[in-house]
Structure 1
Amino acid sequence: MTSQRLRIVPSQFVVEHLPNSTFPEDDEWIALVRAPEGLTVIREAPPWADGERWKGFYGDAAHGLDQPGMLAALVGPLAAAGIPVFVASTYHADLVLVPDHRLDDAATTLREAGHRIAD
Structure 2
Amino acid sequence: MISPTGQRLRVVPSQFTLGHVPDATFPEDDEWIALVRAPEGLTVVRESWGNDSGRRWVGFYGDQPHELDVPGMLAAVVGPLAEAGVPVFVASTFHADLVLVPVERQGDASLALKNAGHEVLDR
| Identity, % of aligned positions | 68
Amino acid at match of 1:54: W
Name segments (4+ residues, structure 1) moved above 2 Å.
none
TM-score (normalised: structure 1): 0.97
Deviation at 1:49, TM superposition (A): 1.4
Which SS does the other structure have where 1:29 is aligned?
A: coil
Alpha-carbon distance in structure 1 between the residues aligned to 2:19 and 2:5: 31
Which SS does the other structure have where 1:22 is aligned?
A: coil
Deviation at 1:3, TM superposition (A): 1.5
**For residue 40 of structure 2, what is the aligned residue in structure 1?**
37
Deviation at 1:46, TM superposition (A): 2.0
**Which of 54, 59, 65 matches 1:62?**
65
Amino acid at match of 1:62: P
Amino acid at match of 1:108: L
Amino acid at match of 2:83: A
Q: Show the 5 A alignment for 1:48-87.
A: 48-87=51-90
**For residue 24 of structure 1, what is the aligned residue in structure 2?**
27
Alpha-carbon distance in structure 2 between the residues aligned to 1:20 and 1:46: 25
Alpha-carbon distance in structure 2 between the residues aligned to 1:67 and 1:16: 30
Alpha-carbon distance in structure 2 between the residues aligned to 1:47 and 1:58: 22
Runs (5+) with no aligned partner, structure 1:
none
Map Cα deviations across residues 25-58 of structure 1 (whole Å, 9 max, x no partner). Answer: 1111110000000000001012221111000000
**For residue 96 of structure 1, what is the aligned residue in structure 2?**
99
Map Cα deviations across residues 81-116 of structure 1 (whole Å, 9 max, x no partner). Answer: 100000000000000000000001100000000000
